[in-house]
């Protein structure tokens, strides 16, 4: 195997984003390397169910397929304060019983936490962010233009 | 051995040395090399070549590890640079991190720096409004600082000259307070910006809302094509470096032009320690450089020296250039060096909404950013209880957003069907501040940086004049917003340290009298005639207009003068 493809294999795409994969042989390790928070493979699976409940698969891919759980993990690990991280891990722990439950039950649990719950808010905001900024959505649904090449300050809105 | 030394010294001797490769240094380099001078350009940071060294320029949002957001640890380690609006994942590599070149804050001051070839010209906001006699006559009329030794007429041909080359877009508005220039077609105001213009100008005839003038190529001319630049593609990702050369930067424009003459030697990683002064000759003879990486010390020699290190670093170099003749810094007979610094007051914004013209939206992106309100306060005469005035930006935008309150399928459906809401409107102030002796930078007596150069102490603050002006800006804009029928008006009176405006100026000011100024009307040191300073350090007062275009004009004018003086044997 050449160096290039070896390196490539160490990356997975989460919402179109490259994330370094974990090389651990530990069976319960997360699939990406985390530097600050400690999570297990089962936490990761639980988080995947939660993000899927927030943005489910319909006629288009949902959060799990777009690997938004990995995006949420990456952002919580790198971009949040230690207090937020603690809140996140505690929220996951409290949600442990959801393992193996249906999407509907997971959705009910998360919604019951209410919009002010720090854990629920963090996951939802990051999931929505990851979704809207995913390669899938930006290429297929709400098109992002890298090079618009124009500006029109008065376009009639089609009613 | 003697011969070796002579050869080595010869190899380190040029006609001219330019310290710094940012907006003003790039212009100095271009003008000097075009006039045939073998020119050494010293840059303290790493090399950044146009396009090749813009690693993020063509990245899509999803390709950024954190979607543009800076990691928590980086934000914690960099409280200063993190406050800069452009310090994100796509451009963080062009900013100096807080620990890389520390300084001491007697008073809070955000010193935002870009140490690389091209300097902050890669990162600037590209607003290019000319200064006028309302600015150059300000200190004399209002009794602060010293009189500018020039007037608009002295600079006008050089504004024309640099604008044609750099590519400046704008409308010809016929306003004496904001003179017209050699413009490429301006970017249009959008429908709500036009509406606001009409509302404001009919109620307050002395106030104008015009399209902001900017250093973007709206319609390339042969001179831009010759530089390898082309039309701005409205990406508005400028801080990453532009592969089209759509906006002006040293990297895209002046430096490759200077290189093409065959007369430029560019030396990155060269931290200038001081300027070498020869008492017998009464001239500067070169500069002492510390290699950024190896820390090796070396001297370079030239007949002519242009200091373009950016306002504060220019002061640092001059203050650290001490000799028997100039114990307190090169050319500092006036004892004003490092003093009379000022900046722009950017500490207030105001936002609102507009629920009219909802049958319109915008399409694409406007690199000019929208509207510009030139200074109208105290313009013709003093009318308020504070001196000078403010310019303001004004922009209207209408974007589609989605209701995010739902969950599951409902949320997903809503996210994929964003709806146009009301127009958002916003303005920010750009206030002139008064240069004072109490606003200064100085060398710390003990602490040194990684290159053995004293740390700089910065002591610059807002004053009562700034507070009164800010209140007037907020009251006046609110009144104009109400007049236009805007709703949900939010005043944003924020604390932000001086410096975050990235318009620090002064310290080595121009003035006719050598007893009160460091530079004469040619940006030439009164006391050391072969040293010229054409960056922000040279500014006698700050105007309200963005200063970069004026640095370009000063650089070209001073280089032209310096070479003529050299040829006459005066330098």
Render pLDDT for B129-187 as a digit per residue (tens, 0 to 9).
999 999 999 999 999 999 999 999 999 999 999 999 999 999 999 999 999 999 999 99
Gyration radius from chain A CA atoms: 18
- Contact by Cβ (8 Å): A110, A103: no
Q: In the predicted model, what is the mean pLDDT of residues B439-451?
A: 98
Please determine, for residue A14, whether its predicted confidence score (pLDDT) is greater than 80. no
Look at residue A7 and tell me if it is in a domain. yes
Nearest to B239 by CA among B89, B397, B98: B89
Residue A130 lies in a domain: yes
- Between these two residues, B466 and A7, which has the higher pLDDT value? B466
Beta-bridged to residue B373, according to DSSP, are: B392
Which pLDDT band holds residue A136 (cuts at 50, 70, 90)? Answer: very high
In a domain, A64, yes or no: yes
**Percent of chain B surpassing pLDDT 90:** 98
Is the distance from CB of B407 to CB of B303 less than 8 angstroms? no
Residue of B nearest to A14 (CA): B62
What 3-state DSSP class applies to B361?
strand
In A, minimum Cα distance to B231 occurs at A149
Q: Which chain A residues contact residue B363 at CB under 8 A? A: 150-152, 155
Distance CA A40, CA A89 (A): 11
Average pLDDT, chain A: 89
Instruction: Provide mean pLDDT across the span B112-118.
Output: 98
Cβ separation A155–B188 shorter than 8 A: no
- pLDDT average, residue stretch A87-107: 95
Q: Picking from A23-27, B195-199, B215-219, B463-467, which range would have the lowest pLDDT averaged per residue?
A: A23-27
The predicted pLDDT at position B494 comes to 86
**Domain region containing A68:** 3-140
Residue B228 to chain A, least CA–CA distance (Å):
18
Which of A78, A142, A156 is opposite residue B360, by nearest beta carbon? A156
Of B72, B188, B408, the CB nearest to A153: B188
A58: chain B residues, CB-CB within 8 Å = 409, 412
Residues B393, B546: Cα–Cα separation, whole Å: 11
Shortest alpha-carbon distance between residue A95 and chain B (Å)? 17
Contact A157/B193, CB-based, under 8 Å? no
**Candidates B72, B187, B191; nearest CB to A151:** B187
Q: Does residue A112 sit in helix, strand or coil?
A: helix
Give the pLDDT confidence score for residue A6 in this predicted structure. 43
Cβ contacts of B67 on chain A, cutoff 8 Å: 17, 75, 129-130, 133
Q: Report chain B residues whose CB lies below 8 A from the CB of A79.
A: 66, 69-72
Min Cα–Cα distance to chain A from B263, Å: 36
Q: Which residues contact B212 (CB under 8 A, 6 or more apart)?
A: B127, B129, B170, B187, B368, B369, B370, B371, B372, B393
Distance from CA of A129 to the nearest CA of B (A): 9
> B14-169+249-337+436-459+501-571: what CATH class?
alpha beta
Task: Tell how strand B264-267 and strand B39-42 pair up.
Answer: parallel
Phi, psi (degrees; rounded to nearest 5) at B120: -85, 0
Residue A100, pLDDT score: 87
8 A C-beta contact, residue B246 and residue B19: no
Among A residues 59-98, those touching chain B with beta carbons less than 8 Å apart:
60, 62, 74-75, 78-81
| Nearest neighbour of B409 by CB, restricted to A56, A142, A159 | A56
B441: closest CA among B501, B506, B500? B506
Contact B233 A148 (CB under 8 A): yes
Higher model confidence: residue B264 or residue A28? B264
Cα B82 from Cα B77, distance rounded (Å): 9
Picking from B67, B211, B357 by the largest number of A CB atoms within 10 A of its own CB, the best residue to mutate is: B67
Nearest-neighbour CA in chain A from B79: distance (Å): 14
A49 in a structural domain: yes
Crossing angle of helices A41-54 and A103-113, in 10° steps, is 80
| Best to test chain A binding among B64, B66, B68, B72 (most A CBs inside 10 Å) | B72
Which strand (E) or helix (H) includes residue B24? helix B23-34
- pLDDT bin (cut points 50, 70, 90) of residue A7 is very low
Instruction: Yes or no: say if B173 and B159 are a contact pair by the CB < 8 Å rule.
Output: no
How many structural domains does chain A have? 1
CA distance A149 to B364: 7
Q: How far is Cα B411 from Cα B424, in angstroms, rounded to an integer?
A: 24
Q: ipTM score here?
A: 0.93
Predicted local confidence at residue A2, as pLDDT: 46
* pLDDT value, residue A1: 38
Cα separation of B434 and A102, whole Å?
A: 66
B79 vs B69: CA distance, rounded Å: 15
* Across A115-119, A135-139, B246-250, B502-506, least confident range: A115-119
| In B357-486, beta strands by DSSP E | 360-364, 371-373, 390-397, 400-401, 419-420, 423-432, 440-448, 454-459
Q: What is the pLDDT of residue B495?
A: 81
Please report which confidence band the pLDDT of residue B390 belongs to, taking 50, 70 and 90 as the band edges.
very high
- Alpha helices (H) in B279-423, listed in sequence order: 311-319, 408-415
User: What pLDDT is stored for residue B1 in this prediction?
Assistant: 47
- Give the three-state DSSP class for B448: strand
* Nearest-CA distance B77 → chain A (Å): 13
Q: Which helix (H) or strand (E) holds B531?
A: strand B531-533
Whose structure tokens read 């233009």? A145
Q: Which residues of A touch B366 (CB under 8 A)?
A: 151, 153
Q: Which residue of B has its CA nearest to A121?
A: B405
Nearest to A55 among B233, B360, B412 (CB): B412
The pLDDT assigned to A5 comes to 44
Rounded to an integer, what distance in angstroms lies between the CA atom of residue A129 and that of residue A132?
5
To the nearest whole percent, how much of chain B has pLDDT over 70?
A: 99
| pLDDT tens-digit readout, B270-304 | 999 999 999 999 999 999 999 999 999 999 999 99
The answer, yes or no, to whether residue B23 has pLDDT greater than 90, is yes
Strand-strand pairing, B360-364 and B348-354: unpaired
In angstroms, rounded to a whole number, what is the distance separating the alpha carbons of residues B501 and B487?
28
B-chain residues near A128 (CB < 8 A): 404, 411, 415
Instruction: Write the DSSP symbol of residue B393.
Output: E
User: Under 8 Å CB-to-CB from B542, ≥6 apart: which residues?
Assistant: B342, B343, B344, B432, B433, B435, B503, B505, B506
Distances (CA, A) of A155 to B149, B161, B195, B218: 49, 36, 15, 20
> Is A110 domain-assigned?
yes
Task: Look at residue A75 and tell me whether its pLDDT is greater than 70.
Answer: yes
Task: Please give the Cα distance from A38 to B26 (Å, whole number).
Answer: 50
Overall average pLDDT of the B388-404 stretch: 97
Rounded CA-CA distance B466/B463 in Å is 5
Among B102, B221, B110, which Cα is nearest to B168's?
B221
What are the pLDDT digits (tens) for B556-568? 999 999 999 999 9
pLDDT bin (cut points 50, 70, 90) of residue A13 is low
Q: How far is B551 from chain A (nearest CA, A)?
A: 29
Residue A87 belongs to a domain: yes
Residue range A93-99: average pLDDT?
Answer: 95
Q: How many angstroms separate the CA atoms of B154 and B510, rounded?
A: 14
Nearest to A15 by CA among A142, A157, A130: A130
Of A18, A138, A153, the CB nearest to B366: A153
Percent of chain A with pLDDT strictly greater than 90: 79
Res B75: pLDDT: 98
pLDDT in tens, B225-242: 999 999 999 999 999 999
- B188-216: pLDDT as tens digits: 999 999 999 999 999 999 999 999 999 99
Bridge-based pairing state of the strands B13-19 and B39-42 = parallel
Domain boundaries, chain B: 14-169+249-337+436-459+501-571, 173-212+344-432+462-497
Contact A17 B64 (CB under 8 A): yes
Looking at every residue in chain B, the average pLDDT score rounds to 97
Residues B125, B72, B45, B526, CA torsion sign: positive
The angle subtended at Cα B409 by Cα B403 and Cα B410, nearest 5°, is 35
Contact at CB, B233 and A147, closer than 8 angstroms: yes
Nearest to residue B372, comparing CAs of B178, B509, B234, B561? B178
């Amino acid at each position: 195997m050449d160096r290039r493809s070896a390196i490539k294999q160490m990356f997975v795409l989460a919402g179109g984003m490259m994330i370094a994969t974990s090389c651990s042989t530990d069976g319960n390790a997360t699939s990406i390397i985390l530097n600050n928070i400690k999570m297990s493979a089962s936490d990761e699976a639980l988080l995947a169910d939660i993000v899927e409940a927030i943005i489910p698969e319909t006629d288009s891919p949902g959060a799990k397929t777009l690997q938004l759980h990995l995006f949420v993990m990456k952002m919580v690990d790198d971009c949040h304060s230690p207090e937020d991280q603690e809140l996140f891990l505690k929220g996951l722990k409290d949600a442990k019983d959801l393992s193996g439950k249906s999407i509907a039950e997971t959705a009910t649990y998360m919604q019951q936490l209410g919009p002010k719950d720090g854990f629920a808010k963090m996951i939802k905001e990051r999931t929505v962010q990851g979704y809207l900024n995913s390669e899938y959505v930006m290429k297929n649904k709400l098109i992002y233009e890298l090079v618009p090449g124009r500006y029109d300050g008065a376009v009639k809105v089609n009613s | 051995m003697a011969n070796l030394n002579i050869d080595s010294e010869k190899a380190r001797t040029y006609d001219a040395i330019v310290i710094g490769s940012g907006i003003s240094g790039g212009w100095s380099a271009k003008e000097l090399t075009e006039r045939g001078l073998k020119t050494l350009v010293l840059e303290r940071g790493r090399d950044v070549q146009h396009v090749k060294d813009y690693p993020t320029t063509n990245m899509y949002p999803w390709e950024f590890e954190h979607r543009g957001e800076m990691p928590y640890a980086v934000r914690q380690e960099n409280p200063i640079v993190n406050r800069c609006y452009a310090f994100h994942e796509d451009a963080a590599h062009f900013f100096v991190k807080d620990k890389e070149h520390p300084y001491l804050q007697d008073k809070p001051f955000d010193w935002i720096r870009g140490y690389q070839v091209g300097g902050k010209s890669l990162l600037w906001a590209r607003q290019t409004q000319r200064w006028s006699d309302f600015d150059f006559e300000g200190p004399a009329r209002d009794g602060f600082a010293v009189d500018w030794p020039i007037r608009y007429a002295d600079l006008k041909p050089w504004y024309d000259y640099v604008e044609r080359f750099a590519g400046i877009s704008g409308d010809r508005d016929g306003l004496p307070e904001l003179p017209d220039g050699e413009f490429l077609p301006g970017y249009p105001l959008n429908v709500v910006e036009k509406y606001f213009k009409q509302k404001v100008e009919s109620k307050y005839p002395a106030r104008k809302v015009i399209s902001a003038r900017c250093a973007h190529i709206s319609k390339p001319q042969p001179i831009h094509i010759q530089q390898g630049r082309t039309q701005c593609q409205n990406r508005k990702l400028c801080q990453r470096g532009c592969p089209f050369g759509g906006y002006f930067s040293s990297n895209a424009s002046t430096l490759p032009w200077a290189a093409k003459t065959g007369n430029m030697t560019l030396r990155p990683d060269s931290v200038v320690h001081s300027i070498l002064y020869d008492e017998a000759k009464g001239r500067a003879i070169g500069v002492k450089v510390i290699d950024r990486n190896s820390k090796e010390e070396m001297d370079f020699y030239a007949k002519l020296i242009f200091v373009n290190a950016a306002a504060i670093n220019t002061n640092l170099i001059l203050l650290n250039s001490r000799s028997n003749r100039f114990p307190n810094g090169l050319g500092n007979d006036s004892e004003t060096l490092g003093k009379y610094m000022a900046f722009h007051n950017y500490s207030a914004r105001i936002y609102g909404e507009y629920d009219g013209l909802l049958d319109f939206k915008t399409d694409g992106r406007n690199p000019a950013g929208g509207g510009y309100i030139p200074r109208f306060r105290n313009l013709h005469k003093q009318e308020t209880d504070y001196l000078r005035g403010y310019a303001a930006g004004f922009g209207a935008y209408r974007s589609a957003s989605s209701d995010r309150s739902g969950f599951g399928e409902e949320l997903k459906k809503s996210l994929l069907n964003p709806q146009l809401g009301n127009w958002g409107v916003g303005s920010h102030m750009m206030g002139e501040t008064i240069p004072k002796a109490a606003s200064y930078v100085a060398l710390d007596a003990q602490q040194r940086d990684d290159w053995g150069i004293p740390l700089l102490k910065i002591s610059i603050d807002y004053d009562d004049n700034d507070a009164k002006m800010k209140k007037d800006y907020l009251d006046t804009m609110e009144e104009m917003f109400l007049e236009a029928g805007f709703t949900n008006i939010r005043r944003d009176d924020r604390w932000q340290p001086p410096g975050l405006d990235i318009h620090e100026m002064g310290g080595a000011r121009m003035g006719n009298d050598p007893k009160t100024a460091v530079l004469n009307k040619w940006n030439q040191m009164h006391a050391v005639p072969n040293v010229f300073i054409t960056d922000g350090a040279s500014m006698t007062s700050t105007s309200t207009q963005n200063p970069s275009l004026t640095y370009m004009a000063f650089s070209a004018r001073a280089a032209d003068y310096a070479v003529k003086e050299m040829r006459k044997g005066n330098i």
